[in-house]
Chain A
Amino acid sequence: MTKTSPYQHRHIGARAIVRAFLAACVLVCVVAPIASGKTRYLTPPGDSAISQYTEVVPAGGGSTPVGQIPSTPLGTLPPAAARALRGSGTARSSLSKFVGATAPRVSHASSGSSTPAVGGSSTLGSLLHSVGGSGGGMGVVLPLILVACLLAAATVIWRRRVRS
């Protein structure tokens, strides 16, 4: 009977983690296209009759209705430049809107706005929102999968140690 080296436990643990990580990657590859393939468009609140005519543009957080783009594109164009663009005709105004629409979203919390963040006003809600975002993609599903993988790997290591 040979005594198991403590290094062997570490070796098995590392292998389990690698397997779990690979499984997570496979899961992400399978789930991500399904999640991103789902069209996400918001509609003007309480106006279902016109929702079919809402114009959307691609934004940092996924497709976004044009009506919901902030009129001042935070952090993208200096206010003076935005004002100048808006004041110089329709085409320029569209350009200004487009720049705003395609810019990365600035979170309400960090901009100091009193408007509660989308996804809830609780700390957990804010955390989930900042981790998962509010647009397209997998949202909070991805971090949850990764946490589950880590927990599974940790459980495997712990059970092997207990058995030995």
Chain B
Amino acid sequence: MSRARIAALLALAAVSLHLRSPAAAKAGLRPIALGFSDDLFTSANPQVRATWLNHAVALGSQVVRLDAGWPASRRPQDPTSPSDPAYSFTQLDAAVRDATAAGISPLLSFTGAPTWAEGPGRPAGASPASWLPQPAAVGAYGEALATRYDGQYPDPLHPGASLPRVKWFQLWNEPNLTLYLSPQWQRVKRRWVAVGPVHYRAMLNAFYAGVKAAQPGASVVTAGTAPFGDFGHGQRMMPLLFWRYVLAAPVSFDAIAHQPYAFGSPTTHALNADDIAIPDIGKLTKLVRRAERRGTALPHIHHSIWVTETGYNTKPPNPGGVPVATDARWVEQELYLFWKQGVSLVTWYLIRDSPPAPTYGDSSQTGMYYLSGRAKPAALAFRFPVVAVRGGGRTSVWLRAPGSGVIKVEARQRGAWRVVARRRVKPLEVVEVGAPSQDRDFRAVLGKLTSLSWHLA
């Protein structure tokens, strides 16, 4: 072997060793977009919208999930035209204008069909707006939405200007619950038929066609499924079973969504095989990849995995919630677990706690801010998540940078914080750096902002 070859091999070995060493930082990691899902962003009060959009920006949000509703109390003459007088988009226009002006991408989501768009044979006991929404009507409304927010549609309030473009459209909410889509099951000739997912597939295909007809470059997002279902043929279908039925035949979408609420820590797996808790997103990914290979998940792309709602009620104020310090840790851990499982976008449910109306049990206190507007510890956790992980004899610190500059990762050594790694970061960049294995407490500092500290058990 020539000297040159030996030198080249030694250089290659040195590079390999450097890449494997704990101190080496992983550059260019997959990003994760964060944001919120909250009715405050579609409030009729412009001051409320502005306040909470500012907070969302301050917490590093890139997206807000806006409830577009289906604002047509009567059947439109031309349901594909957003200018049909049966539609009323005034409030949504304002929300989209404000979000876009704040530099945040809106994700337009809607659930619930007007009475005229529900299917035939609706029983009196069915949940409002849930009964077999007509796929044709869903598709036409998707086209109307995507047309109105294609970036060229005239802004009715500002002559000569256009409404902003929206590129993400989501169909429905938790369609594995009869609360939102009914029926889930129907008995036909002594056999139980999974009506909900099969009907949702028809709705999704129609919606996809409608949105893409108006905006071929827009992305269609499936509804986020609720995390847990029941045994038998009840009112909640287990999410994996639901998606298995949906993906059994050709169906078109760009991203699949899930909404993994949890009562325990983010690392707690679902007990049932067909339920999907926070660390079980892999079950959904596996199913989607299999459908891609089989050709039923269309188009032929690598479909994204999104989380469009999640959160923990906190105590205070909710007597049944988790302590705010625990909540903060779980927020960081949850974001890390989502990222690790390949989730590319998360919209946290609520930026600010809901009022306890009529009771705490009927409302959600999953916000980053109390109802008073004061920040919870989770706000910092969301803005600057830092998680230390240990595995394979190595310790590493994962974080999402809240801004640009040189980030310092610190470890507590003999009672004092000492810098163990430095790294130049871009805003919202995801970084993972090696850390000394003997240390247990870590945090990160960017300029004057210090993250919460993470204790490795």
In chain B, what residue has the closest Cβ to A97? B271
Q: In the complex, what residues of A have CB within 8 A of residue B359's CB?
A: 46
The reply to whether A63 and B230 contact each other, CB–CB distance below 8 Å, is: yes
Does A66 lie within 8 Å of B263, measured CB to CB? Answer: yes
Q: Which B residues from 358 to 389 make CB contacts under 8 A with A?
A: 359-364
Question: Which of chain A's residues has its CB closest to B267's CB?
Answer: A90
Residues of B within 8 A of A49 (CB): 361-364
Contact between chains at A55 and B361 (CB < 8 Å): no
| Contact among B236, B271, B360 for A101, CB-based, below 8 A | B271
- Flag if A52 contacts B236 (CB, 8 Å): yes
Do the beta carbons of B271 and A98 come within 8 Å of each other?
yes
Task: Give the contacting residue for B230; candidates A44, A56, A90; CB below 8 A.
Answer: A56
**Is B271 in contact with A44, judged by CB distance below 8 angstroms?**
no
Which residues on A sit within 8 Å (CB–CB) of B179? 52
1/0 contact trace for B408-427 toward A, CB 8 Å? Answer: 00000000000000000000
- Contacting residues, chain B, for A80 (C-beta < 8 A): none
- Which of B271, B275, B363: most chain A CB closer than 10 A? B271
In Å, the complex CA distance between A57 and B267 comes to 18
Residues of A within 8 Å of B265, CB to CB, are 90
A36 nearest CB across to chain B (Å): 7
CB contacts under 8 Å to B, within A33-77, are 36-39, 41, 44, 46-50, 52-58, 63, 66-67
Residue A29 interfacial (CB < 8 Å): no
Determine whether A91 belongs to the interface, using a CB cutoff of 8 Å to chain B: yes
Query: Is A53 within 8 A of B228, CB to CB?
Result: yes
Q: Indicate whether B183 reaches chain A with its CB closer than 8 angstroms.
A: no
- Report whether B313 and A36 are in contact in the complex, using a CB–CB cutoff of 8 Å: no
**Secondary structure dominating the interface of B:** loop
Q: Is A121 in contact with chain B by the CB < 8 A criterion?
A: no
- State in angstroms the CA–CA spacing of A156 and B18 once bound together: 93
Interface size on A, residues (CB 8 A): 27
CB distance from B242 to the nearest CB of A (A): 14
Proximity bits, A115-132, B CB within 8 Å = 1, else 0? 000000000000000000
Q: Using Cβ atoms and an 8 Å threshold, which residues of chain B touch A91?
A: 269
Question: Do residues A53 and B361 form an inter-chain contact, with CB atoms below 8 A?
Answer: no
Q: Within the complex, which residue of B177, B233, B261, B268 is in contact with A94, where a contact is CB–CB below 8 Å? A: B268
Closest A residue to B272 by beta carbon equals A57
Tell yes or no: B226 within 8 A of A by CB. yes
Give a binary string over B85-106; 1 marks a CB under 8 Å from any A CB, 0 the rest. 0000000000000000000000
A29: shortest Cβ distance to chain B, in Å?
13
Please tell me if the beta carbons of B361 and A41 are within 8 angstroms of each other in the complex.
no
- For window 215-239 of chain B, which residues contact chain A by CB distance below 8 Å? 226-228, 230-236
Q: Which of B254-295 contact A (CB under 8 A)?
A: 261, 263, 265, 267-272, 275, 277
Cβ-defined contact, A56 with B232, below 8 A: no
* B271-A36 in contact (CB<8A): no
Q: Is the CB of B364 within 8 A of A55?
A: no
Partner of B313, one of A38, A41, A50: A50
Contact residues, B92-144 vs A (CB, 8 A): none
B174 beta carbon closer than 8 Å to chain A? yes
Contacts of B313 in A (CB 8 A): 50
Residue of chain B at shortest CB distance from A54: B228
A91 CA to B265 CA, complexed, in Å = 12
Pick from B230, B270, B277: contact of A39, CB under 8 Å: B230
